[in-house]
Structure 1
Amino acid sequence: MDLLECYERVYSTKGYLSQIVDEIKLIELEVMVIYEQMSCHADVNDSESYLLESSQEKSPAVQDIVVGLDDDVLEIKTRLCSFSSKLEIVSLVGMGGIGKSTLARMVYDDPFIQYHFSIRAWVTVKDHRVKGLFLGLLDGIVEFTAEIHEKHSEQLEEMLYRKLKHNRYLIVLDDVWSTEVWGKIRRCFPDDKNGSRILLTTRLTKVALHAKSDSAPYCLKLLDLEESWELLCQKVCGRKFDRPDLEDIGKKIAGRCQGLPLTILVVAGQLSKLPRTRMCWQIFAKTVGSIVTDEHEKCLDILALSYRNLPHHLKACFIYICAFPAETAIRVQPLVKLWIAEGFLTTGKQKILENYAEECLEDLVNRSLVIVKQRKSNGRVKSCAVHDLLRDFGLREAQRENFFHFPEFFATADTLNCGRRLSYYRAASIEVPWKPLLPLSRTLLLFGYPRSLPRSQLLGPLQYKLLRVLRILHVTFNFFPPQVLQLVHLRYLALTVKEPECPESISRLWNLQTFILATRGVLNLPKTVWEMDNLRHVCLGNGCFLPNPMSSFNGCKVLTNLQTITYMDITSCTREVAENIPNLKKLAIRGRREWDSSQPSSYVLDSLFYLKQLEKLKLRYHNLSSMDFCPSNLKKLVLNRCSFSCGFTSSLCMLPNLEILKLEHVQFEQHSWNLTEEVFSNLKYLKKVSSYLRVWNASEVNFPKLEHLVLKRCYLESIPHEIGNIYTLQRIEVHSCSVVVEISVRRVQEEQKNMGNDSLNVSISQKGSLKNSIPNATLGLKNSIPNATLDFLRRNWYWSTLDFEEEPFVYRNDMLCCDPNGSP
């Protein structure tokens, strides 16, 4: 046996290690159960008595226990029994296993619903043919005979129509998968203007909107931790839980089910078979994932229906999401760039690939396969995730279809020889693939920080000449690896390099679309970058200097595909640069940290006027006197740690298409922002993050179309009460602001309620302190609040010290995963 064959044999068993570990844990659990049953019992009778007590202690796991649906039942009953006399369709939408059919059945069997509707019928649609659907509906209305079964579809349709005619009926169409089915059976439901209803359940938002496009479907949400624990507790222990010592472990088990009722029921079924001892539950908590996925394939079969109904390109996109680590929120912008680099998506010339990719993601969300963790200010998805049960299914499909490989968990000889896409969750696990056995590898994704890793071990993947995607952000190279320059097929490159340098031969990567480089300082890009005409996105966290293209330079091209640059150094803002990136849509410019610059940044930024396609602009560390340099197409503007001079607002409001404005730690003159005749005609979203602004004077005239207002770390004297009069305003968010701001916002909401406006939604999180908002007389706050209110606040609020220091700048553009509760 030669050395290479021995090497192969050793690593061919590596993929079974995780499976062996899970089996050992299950065996350990069984041993502990036996041990618990036999310990502390001297004779057989005692043992039999213990076993009898254990069996009596276990709950029969009553099947009709439902948790967290009371409000949902009330809402659906309200919709079904509304005053509208015309035929209405009520749709329930949610992922598989979330409880759509359970909710529909609870409503269907409700005594009031039975009394309200003279005819009720239920049919599970799935992929049934039209005749089967008619037979299923008639079975609940008429006495079924063989003669009825022999009728044709047209005869059954007419018969159903006649039975429903002149009756107030409720029809439940459970688990509808296609719009075609609805189109074929819609005609058999007469509308006699008597309040008849159709209740439809589906996983697809498209189906719900097709059935009733003029109103939003009712979307079921996952259970929260308390509801999950209540359901698990009642299924395992019955209505009464008398073991408070197990509550902490029980909640941990419930939390790992991630709010999906189907998963909770599966876990409860297994947990109910075990003695209720702390040791057994602790061991069980460590094996929840393997118990759900290995012993209950029916769960995956239920969820797999959604996957099997996907178009081919969406299947690839979904499995790619499953390749990311569990329990993380995945940032959408880097994700869609990876999809494009992999070649999953193709579109016509009229549609931009990035926009099409976001539409595909929304499609996955509407199919209840992907969970939205956070949305942007424009309503698009900012970060997303996949339920663990769906993710486990996706990982299995990835292995089965040879789509993605995870050598840490499923390393086999085939994986090591033909793994086209590799994903590692720990850098320290990178061992095997660094040998030259992966000539077909196209993708390498590395997540997580290494504890200790030999530097030479990182150079292995750089020998894979066919790589298209290389992402190693959590390992720092001292210098830009020269081996990367040989990977001419690269479309997506993301690295972390200590020294900010980029070799001139970077132009060899002529296929590169996305270039992400995290460095210490400003990166000087070489002139050869103008040869890389496939570049779409350049993300350099601490800024880059982009040299002017030289007319005499051989191979100089206009970068027509370039859409994103973040961040660009202010010294690169020249007319020559702007004219050679004509289709740029997103730009972030980093200025100097000194705000009191002798020359305002506005003079340097005049070249931005030539970026006619620019839609999103972020400016950081700038002294601004006006915004006249902004192109008229601009829709989103973020000003971070900038200072403004007199007259700035007048030019800002002149941007005709501005819809989103974020003011983060900006400095206004005299700490006040006074709006008089300035009108932001199209502004829909306004966010203010500032500990410097004290006075804000405005009215509904200044923001006629504002929909969403966000205040974060604001210590204003008050909020303009006329803001509430903006008829388009839907939501006000307050985060970590002073109590004065919170009181003002609540007052605005109360005034609107008194005027009959109940649609204004106010959200206050991380409630503020009074130490820096009330006692400071220099701000005039004492004069703005009645004495009685001040006395009440001083007696009932805890005063703590607020930190006004600036947040350190953290580069997030290169990150794929973020804190689910954070805002990257």
Structure 2
Amino acid sequence: MAYASVQMFMDKLNQLINCNDNPLINIHSIIHARPQFQILYEELGSMIKTLFIDQHHDLQKLSDLKKRFIYAAEEAEYNVDLFLSGVHIRNNGHFPTSEDFKRSLNLDDVMTSFKSVQVEFINLNKKIDSSPRPKITVNQSAPAPISFSRNSLRSKKLQDEIFVALDQDAELIIKRLVEYRKKVDVVSIVGMGGIGKTTLATKVFNDAYVKYHFDVIAWVTVSQTYDKRAVLTQILGSNHARLDLEKASDWQLHELVHRHLIDQRYLIVIDDIWHKETWDNLKSLFPSRNNGSRILLTSRITEVAKHASSDGFIHHLRYLNKDESWQLLCQKVFQGNECPDWSIKPGMRIVERCHGLPLAVVVMAGILAKHSWSEKFWVEIADRVDSYIVGDQNGCVEILALSYNHLPLHLRECFLYLGGFPEDYKFQVKRLIWLWVAEGFIQQTGNQSLEDIAEGYLMDLIDRNLVILDRWKSNGAVKACKVHDLVRELCLKKAKEERFILTVEHPMLSPRFYDVITPSYKPTVRVFMDTEYIPVFPCPSTQNLRSLFFGHFRLYNDSIARYFRFFVLLRVLDLQTRVSDEFPKGMELLVHLRYLRICNSSKKFPSSICSLWNLQTLIYFSSVNARVVIPRNISDMVNLRHLCSYFPFTRANVKIPFFLQSIEKPMNLQVISNVELGDGVDDFQKCFPYIKELTCTTYSNEQNDFKSLTYLEKLDLTCLGKRKIAITFPTTLKRLTIRYCDLPWSDMSIIQSLPNIQVLKLGRISFSGTRWNTAEHVFPQLKFLRLEGLDIELWEAYSRSFPCLKHLEVIRCYKLEEIPLEIGDIPTLELIKINECKQCVVESVRRIQEGQRDLGNYDLKINVI
């Protein structure tokens, strides 16, 4: 449990104390325990204020006290949760034989632990206050030193060995370095550890023309522990200054560097910079005489490169393709000699497992080069590439692990969590964020939502090149991401070492599975099942599980239901790939669930599921084309923020699985996806006052008034029933998709008036009429426009109507004659995509592209399907 999890525990206690209108909480036994909840809540708040907020002593003793407090808080939550589970089990008529379900709540031991920590903290403060305080000089600009175990010679040797076909990258960097720009310019090379940043910088540094162009060149290695004096001596030493550098003061060294560079055109390579503060401290060393001097940075962290120069050039180093990886492997193993024919097939398998990371290829080449060459040996190596790379403690893993060691504490749990998912897994960003929140990894700060904070955590991991972008949303946000397989292996290795997660391939055959989930002390345990076998769980010891993900076997209703009584503390349950005929019985016992993803063919949503009052996210995949009616008491889920339903495969004109006819009281939902709303849900403001994203089908014949939804940013609306309906939208709307609304084109002024709209998707029969004239319509923020399945024949558009448009899609508009020529004059336009339209539309797009090329614009891309 981390500090963020303590916050989430306190939120739960607050609800147990103060939520008077929830029948799921107002059970006699829970009401009777409220005084203890209140005392515990106040004690946790006091301890947090004492240990995490009021004090500023960065001492090992204080760190130990924090760990003890977290341990005690975890024990408190464990006891409270077992008590709540026992109450709800008995309230639902279930009487398990296990004695682990507490009939009464006793927190005496926990309170004793808290008191012990408080007393030791008071004594620690007294000791500090009575001690003489030494005079401390603090460098405000430099980050605090971080100690890391590192064999620098081994790491440097591996980096130096990486040589690949970087000619194009080097040419691009050199061109930027020597181009005619007078001011001091910063050029950055960014990428994950082991991808070849230092190698590329070395190639540029040693280029003959670069040496000719610059009067002074110097190489500085910063690394994670910044030492300004070392940087100064490296600059002077690399230029053979005849000085006694050891006896000079820092100020004298600074002056010497400044004098040495002031009248010269210089190139300074700053390799492996980790902190923005480091750059802020370094930049004063480099004088500017507007003579074309340059700084070349390498970093794993994109944010550092952006900070160094807001208008500088950042080169993101790519992974090697398969041919380049094979070329590198042959170069290192055979040293220029021809490779044997037998080596090609296993060799290609080896480089495939390196996934384009040069450092991994070099590690494998070193293993292959040290042994006699034989096909049998190469085949054996190809079967165990990951274990060799991850086991290379002095090389590849060590370099990759630096990024993990450098992570701030609030990011480590989020990062380790990624290791539990399969290789090449593509994370849907929205779902990953919901999981992080449900697990309690996200720390509340200010007025930001937990989801927004979690998105910031993810972007931080992306900036650190530990997570890879995979797909973008139409508004430019990240839609999907992934991790490099070697990073995943490192992540999984660290996670298992810390007992943070456990992956199980053969649970019936793995004694370690039983050992990990049955320790003497009951920690948060997350188990990822990836097996074709039906698991046999050791009962009742699995009750300490907090997260459970199932893999590739078909799970029937009774296969999992019989274990629910032993999973009572689960927070996360993912049954998405499992298909059963109905909702598993007994799921209502899992009252601590925060995240549930389930797939089945049931046509009935049991009302008992609505007793899961802790649930934040409910994702339902229907395996049949059938509508599932949601009971009106779903509003008892007072913490439900995300309600989503999907079919496993996209099919045209299918019914949306969830149907919500009416609800009993307002809900705290933020996201509703693929839900049909009945006549009992016509007042959106009353039903969903905090909704941010709404994807729904409505049958209401009344006016669809969304204007009062002051938090709504995304609306995907399908209107069925009476046509020619009236719709109003809130000014907060950023993304809008409509279909079957049959609006006149004159109503486009309603959308045009929305000041924040960035994405507009007009689907089938969203508007009726053969002519759309945008002369009077200006979309000041619109970046993405899609026209799909419209009966439009003539589209009159002007560049001034879409001043920020980047992406235009026209799909299955079979009657449309052409794309207006003026569209090509939009200065921000990057892509026009045409799919299943007349040939004359395709020809008009080609004319637009040719016209732009005649004007020197080669950035506009055309994609015709």
TM-score bracket, shorter-length normalisation: 0.7 to 0.9
Is 662-671 or 696-705 further displaced after alignment?
662-671
Query: Could you say if the C-alpha distance between residues 633 and 573 of structure 1 is closer, same or farther in structure 2, counting changes exceeding 3 Å?
Result: farther
Q: CA deviation at 1:635?
A: 1.3
Q: CA deviation at 1:638?
A: 1.8
How far apart, CA to CA, are the structure 2 residues paired with 1:463 and 1:391? 31
1:546/1:572 contact within 8 Å kept: no
1:586/1:616 contact within 8 Å kept: yes
Q: CA deviation at 1:303?
A: 0.9
Question: Per the alignment, in what secondary structure is the counterpart of residue 399 of structure 1?
Answer: helix
Q: Does 1:682 align with 2:781?
A: yes
The amino acid of 1:185's aligned partner reads: L
CA offsets, 1:339-375, max 9 Å, x none? Answer: 0011111223511111111111111000111000011
2:543/2:566 contact within 8 Å kept: no
Q: CA deviation at 1:390?
A: 0.8
Question: What is the match of residue 530 of structure 1?
Answer: 635
**What pairs up with 1:121-136 in 2 under 5 angstroms?**
121-126=218-223, 127-136=225-234
What percent identity do the matched residue pairs reach? 37
The amino acid of 1:403's aligned partner reads: F
Is 297-306 or 97-106 further displaced after alignment?
297-306
The amino acid of 2:695's aligned partner reads: A
Q: 661, 686, 695: which one pairs with 1:579?
A: 686
The amino acid of 1:653's aligned partner reads: Q
How far apart, CA to CA, are the structure 2 residues paired with 1:609 and 1:80? 53
CA offsets, 1:669-718, max 9 Å, x none? Answer: 47665545333343211124449766544232432331222345666543
Question: What is the match of residue 567 of structure 1?
Answer: 674
**What pairs up with 1:401-550 in 2 under 5 angstroms?**
401-408=498-505, 412=512, 413-418=514-519, 420-447=524-551, 449-450=552-553, 455-457=558-560, 459-460=562-563, 463-519=566-622, 520=624, 521-541=626-646, 542-550=656-664
**What pairs up with 1:277-356 in 2 under 5 angstroms?**
280-295=377-392, 297-356=394-453
Question: Per the alignment, in what secondary structure is the counterpart of residue 245 of structure 2?
Answer: helix
Question: What is the match of residue 42 of structure 2?
Answer: none
CA offsets, 1:75-133, max 9 Å, x none? Answer: 11112112111212211111101111011100100001111111111121111421122
Question: What is the match of residue 10 of structure 1?
Answer: none
Question: Per the alignment, in what secondary structure is the counterpart of residue 442 of structure 1?
Answer: strand
How far apart, CA to CA, are the structure 1 residues paired with 2:834 and 2:376? 44
2:705/2:729 contact within 8 Å kept: no
1:573/1:607 contact within 8 Å kept: no
2:696/2:716 contact within 8 Å kept: yes
1:667/1:693 contact within 8 Å kept: no
The amino acid of 1:136's aligned partner reads: Q
The amino acid of 1:446's aligned partner reads: F
The amino acid of 2:826's aligned partner reads: I
2:189/2:315 contact within 8 Å kept: yes
Which has the higher relative contact order, 1 or 2, with Cα contacts under 8 A spaced 6 or more apart?
1
2:642/2:669 contact within 8 Å kept: yes
Query: Could you say if the C-alpha distance between residues 613 and 416 of structure 1 is closer, same or farther in structure 2, counting changes exceeding 3 Å?
Result: closer
Q: Does 1:386 align with 2:491?
A: no
How far apart, CA to CA, are the structure 1 residues paired with 2:600 and 2:457? 33
Q: 225, 232, 236: which one pairs with 2:322?
A: 225
How far apart, CA to CA, are the structure 1 residues paired with 2:840 and 2:380? 50
Query: Could you say if the C-alpha distance between residues 622 and 636 of structure 1 is closer, same or farther in structure 2, counting changes exceeding 3 Å?
Result: farther
Q: Does 1:70 align with 2:139?
A: no
Q: CA deviation at 1:226?
A: 3.1
Question: What is the match of residue 700 of structure 1?
Answer: 799
How far apart, CA to CA, are the structure 2 residues paired with 1:643 and 1:296? 64
Q: 466, 471, 474: which one pairs with 1:377?
A: 474
Is 688-697 or 91-100 further displaced after alignment?
688-697
Is 239-248 or 748-757 further displaced after alignment?
239-248
How far apart, CA to CA, are the structure 1 residues paired with 2:304 and 2:855? 38
Query: Could you say if the C-alpha distance between residues 425 and 645 of structure 1 is closer, same or farther in structure 2, counting changes exceeding 3 Å?
Result: farther
2:390/2:489 contact within 8 Å kept: yes
How far apart, CA to CA, are the structure 2 residues paired with 1:458 and 1:504? 17
How far apart, CA to CA, are the structure 2 residues paired with 1:682 and 1:246? 56
Question: Per the alignment, in what secondary structure is the counterpart of residue 799 of structure 2?
Answer: coil
The unaligned stretches of length 5 or more in structure 1 are 1-60, 551-555, 592-600, 769-824
Query: Could you say if the C-alpha distance between residues 612 and 180 of structure 1 is closer, same or farther in structure 2, counting changes exceeding 3 Å?
Result: closer
Query: Could you say if the C-alpha distance between residues 572 and 231 of structure 1 is closer, same or farther in structure 2, counting changes exceeding 3 Å?
Result: farther
How far apart, CA to CA, are the structure 2 residues paired with 1:369 and 1:529? 39
How far apart, CA to CA, are the structure 1 residues paired with 2:374 and 2:764? 54
TM-score (ref. length: structure 1): 0.77
2:162/2:196 contact within 8 Å kept: no
Query: Could you say if the C-alpha distance between residues 741 and 101 of structure 1 is closer, same or farther in structure 2, counting changes exceeding 3 Å?
Result: farther
1:422/1:441 contact within 8 Å kept: yes
Q: CA deviation at 1:469?
A: 0.9
Query: Could you say if the C-alpha distance between residues 693 and 162 of structure 1 is closer, same or farther in structure 2, counting changes exceeding 3 Å?
Result: same
Query: Could you say if the C-alpha distance between residues 276 and 748 of structure 1 is closer, same or farther in structure 2, counting changes exceeding 3 Å?
Result: farther
How far apart, CA to CA, are the structure 2 residues paired with 1:703 and 1:457? 54
Question: Per the alignment, in what secondary structure is the counterpart of residue 328 of structure 2?
Answer: helix
Query: Could you say if the C-alpha distance between residues 585 and 668 of structure 1 is closer, same or farther in structure 2, counting changes exceeding 3 Å?
Result: closer
How far apart, CA to CA, are the structure 2 residues paired with 1:727 and 1:687? 18
Question: Per the alignment, in what secondary structure is the counterpart of residue 515 of structure 2?
Answer: helix
How far apart, CA to CA, are the structure 1 residues paired with 2:344 and 2:738? 48
The amino acid of 2:752's aligned partner reads: C
How far apart, CA to CA, are the structure 2 residues paired with 1:518 and 1:567? 11
Q: 821, 831, 834: which one pairs with 1:731?
A: 831
How far apart, CA to CA, are the structure 2 residues paired with 1:706 and 1:547? 39
Q: 725, 729, 743: which one pairs with 1:630?
A: 729
How far apart, CA to CA, are the structure 2 residues paired with 1:739 and 1:280? 57
1:575/1:610 contact within 8 Å kept: no
TM-score (ref. length: structure 2): 0.74
Question: What is the match of residue 164 of structure 1?
Answer: 261
**What pairs up with 1:32-51 in 2 under 5 angstroms?**
none
Query: Could you say if the C-alpha distance between residues 430 and 346 of structure 1 is closer, same or farther in structure 2, counting changes exceeding 3 Å?
Result: farther
1:714/1:741 contact within 8 Å kept: no
Question: What is the match of residue 854 of structure 2?
Answer: 754
Question: What is the match of residue 776 of structure 1?
Answer: none
How far apart, CA to CA, are the structure 2 residues paired with 1:452 and 1:442? 20
Q: CA deviation at 1:285?
A: 2.7
Query: Could you say if the C-alpha distance between residues 231 and 757 of structure 1 is closer, same or farther in structure 2, counting changes exceeding 3 Å?
Result: same
The amino acid of 2:266's aligned partner reads: Y
Question: Per the alignment, in what secondary structure is the counterpart of residue 688 of structure 2?
Answer: coil
2:389/2:397 contact within 8 Å kept: no
Question: What is the match of residue 695 of structure 2?
Answer: 588
How far apart, CA to CA, are the structure 2 residues paired with 1:227 and 1:391? 23
Is 608-617 or 73-82 further displaced after alignment?
608-617
Query: Could you say if the C-alpha distance between residues 224 and 742 of structure 1 is closer, same or farther in structure 2, counting changes exceeding 3 Å?
Result: farther
Is 376-385 or 206-215 further displaced after alignment?
206-215
The unaligned stretches of length 5 or more in structure 2 are 1-157, 647-655
